[in-house]
Chain A
Amino acid sequence: MPHDDHDHDHEHVHHEGMSPSGHPYRADQDEPLTYWQTMEIAVRELLEEKGIFSAAEIATAIGRMDARSPADGARVVAKAWTDPAFKARLMADGSAAAAELGCAIDALKLVVVENTADTHNVIVCTLCSCYPRNLLGLPPDWYKNRAYRSRVVKEPRSVLAEFGLALPDSIRVRVHDSTADMRYIVLPARPAGTEGWSEERLAALVTRDSMIGVGLPHAAA
């Protein structure tokens, strides 16, 4: 160990490669660009030189993508909770209904799956990391992680319990694997005690995890 000149007579245990709080540091990305990263930069610069698009337009597009957040999905959920006709349209054609609220789903199709008294839905993409980015923004790291992707299709109840959501056997669990062109969000059940609440107030109860299906909305305060 490289700390031989140190006084080790302290109770603080310092693990190699760990932060003082005991978490691993993320490695710096000091390795050279990969073939595909180089290819992306080259193609992008060529397209800029040819005037197909400008660097500013790319920055704007990235900004637009980064601006999407679970607040968009929460607006859709709150609207469905308060407007039965909207909910019917949302269940029949998720993309068209989300577009009514200004959430374009682009080329992909949105399927909304509803939690009820006897059904709980949860979403995964086992093949890669398909995620309803238009409604929820960028996916959390764990969603792309191999452990979540491989385990939630095999032992969803154990995985949900690890998220703090223990479901009784009386509730049927439905796992949705986003294998192709659909994207999914869960329509969670409306929390009790929220009768008469405005859409805005309801939306504040809707969490990202409740729309992935690994959590529930906040309870009415």
Chain B
Amino acid sequence: MPEITVRVKTWPSHGLHVRTPRYLRGKRGVIERELGRFPNPEQLAYGLPAPERKLVRVRFTMAEVWGAGAENPDDTLDAEIYEHWLEADEG
């Protein structure tokens, strides 16, 4: 399967119930696996109708996340990110 590279959007979240950690925003990674569709926690947390959204696991290198501060650049970090927080990577 070809690797799909994505970038996490840099939207602000202003204290809302968002499951996209701040330290990963704007970072590029590859889709590690698709997880299926789940109710969007950004609505679910407030008791609102929560349409299902695609959830994927994205794998980032530590070099991408922490730059020169990475402890070991080739170690990785995987996180679950909802599709609306991802955009195609333009390179």
Count contacts between A and B, CB distance < 8 Å.
Answer: 64
Alpha-carbon gap, A214 to B42, bound state (A) = 31
Of all chain A residues, the one with the shortest Cβ separation from B20 is A179
Set B66, B71, B78: member contacting A174, Cβ < 8 A: B78
Q: With a CB–CB cut-off of 8 A, which chain A residues contact B50?
A: none
CA distance A157 to B23 in the complex (A): 19
**CB distance B74 to A177 under 8 Å?**
no
**Which residue of A153, A169, A180 has the most chain B CB atoms within 10 A of its CB atom?**
A180
The answer to whether A179 and B77 touch (CB under 8 A), given A153-B23, A157-B72, A158-B71, is: no
The number of chain B residues touching the other chain, given as a range, is: 20 to 34
Interface size on A, residues (CB 8 A): 22
Q: Are B72 and A169 in contact (CB under 8 A)?
A: yes
Q: B76, A175: Cβ atoms under 8 Å? A: yes
A156–B35 CB distance below 8 A: no
Of B65, B71, B79, the contact of A179 (CB 8 Å cutoff):
B79
CB distance from A148 to the nearest CB of B (A): 15
Q: Are A174 and B80 in contact (CB under 8 A)?
A: no
Give the CA-CA distance A180 to B40 in the complex, in Å.
10
Are B35 and A182 in touch, CB under 8 angstroms?
Answer: yes
Given contacts A109-B35, A126-B23, A182-B35, contact A177 B78 (CB under 8 A): yes
Assess A178 versus B80: contact at CB under 8 Å? Given A109-B35, A127-B21, A154-B66. Answer: yes
Question: B70's closest neighbor in chain A, by CB?
Answer: A154
Within the complex, the shortest CB–CB distance from A12 to chain B, in Å, comes to 42
Task: Return chain A residues, CB-CB under 8 Å to B77.
Answer: 153, 174-177
Residues from chain B with Cβ under 8 Å of A201 in the complex: none
CA distance in complex: A155, B38 (Å): 31
Are A180 and B55 in touch, CB under 8 angstroms?
yes
Contacts A109-B35, A153-B77, A173-B75 given; indicate if A180 touches B82 (C-beta within 8 A).
Answer: yes
Please name the residue on chain A nearest to B53 by beta carbon. A180
Complex formed: what's the CA distance from A115 to B31 in Å? Answer: 20
- In the complex, the 9 A-B pairs of residues with the closest C-beta atoms, listed nearest first: A180-B80, A173-B75, A177-B79, A180-B19, A155-B71, A175-B77, A179-B79, A179-B80, A181-B38
Known A173-B76, A177-B78, A180-B19; further 7 A-B contacts with Cβ < 8 A: A172-B74, A174-B78, A175-B75, A180-B55, A180-B80, A182-B35, A182-B57
